[in-house]
Structure 1
Amino acid sequence: MPNYVFFNLATSGFSSSYNDTILQIGAVDSYNPRKKFNGYVEPGRRIHSKATEKHGYTTDSSCTKLINKHGTELPCLDLKTQLRRFMDWMNKSFRGRIVLVSHGNFNYHAQVLLENLKTYNISYDKIVGFADSLVMCRNIYPGQRYNLEDMTEALSIPLYKGKALSYHALDRAYAIRKLVRRIVYEEQAKFSRFVRQPEHYKPTNQLINAYMREE
Structure 2
Amino acid sequence: MTRQIVLDTETTGLSADSGDRIIEIGCVELLNRRLTGNNLHFYLNPERDSHEDALRVHGLTTEFLRDKPKFAEVAEDLLTYLQDAEIIIHNAAFDVGFLDRELERLRKPAFNTWVDSITDTLVMAKQLYPGKRNSLDALCDRLGVDNSGRTLHGALLDAELLADVYIALTRGQEALLIDLGDVGQQGVSVRRADFSALDLPVIRANEVELSAHAGVLTQLDKSSSGKTVWRVVEPEITGI
State whether TM-score is above 0.5. yes
2:159 to 173, 187, 192: 173
Other-structure match for 2:4: 4
Q: How does 1:55-94 map to 2 (within 5 A)?
A: 55-60=58-63, 65-66=64-65, 76-91=68-83
TM-score calculated relative to the size of structure 1: 0.71
Worse overlay, 120-129 or 144-153: 120-129
1:105 pairs with 2:104: no
Give the deviation of 1:18 after TM superposition: 7.2
- Structure with greater contact order relative to length (CA < 8 Å, sep ≥ 6): 1
Other-structure match for 1:49: 52
Which of 1 and 2 has greater Rg?
Answer: 2
Q: Once the two structures are aligned, what percentage of the paired residues are identical?
A: 21
Unmatched runs of 5 consecutive residues or more in structure 2? 176-240
Unmatched runs of 5 consecutive residues or more in structure 1? 68-74, 92-96, 191-215
Other-structure match for 1:182: 168
CA distance in 1, matches of 2:129, 2:173: 15
Q: Please say if residues 7 and 173 of structure 1, whose CA atoms lie closer than 8 Å, have aligned partners that are also in contact.
A: yes
Cα deviation code 1:61-86 (max 9, x no counterpart): xxxx517xxxxxxx610111122221
Q: Please say if residues 28 and 173 of structure 1, whose CA atoms lie closer than 8 Å, have aligned partners that are also in contact.
A: yes
User: Which is richer in strand?
Assistant: 1
Other-structure match for 1:28: 28
2:106 to 97, 120, 135: 120
Give the deviation of 1:54 after TM superposition: 0.3
CA distance in 1, matches of 2:85, 2:117: 7
Change (3 A) 1:165 1:175: farther
SS at match of 2:88: strand
SS at match of 1:76: coil
Pairs aligned (count): 170
SS at match of 1:9: strand
Q: Please say if residues 29 and 38 of structure 2, whose CA atoms lie closer than 8 Å, have aligned partners that are also in contact.
A: yes
Cα deviation code 1:70-105 (max 9, x no counterpart): xxxxx61011112222113335xxxxx212111100
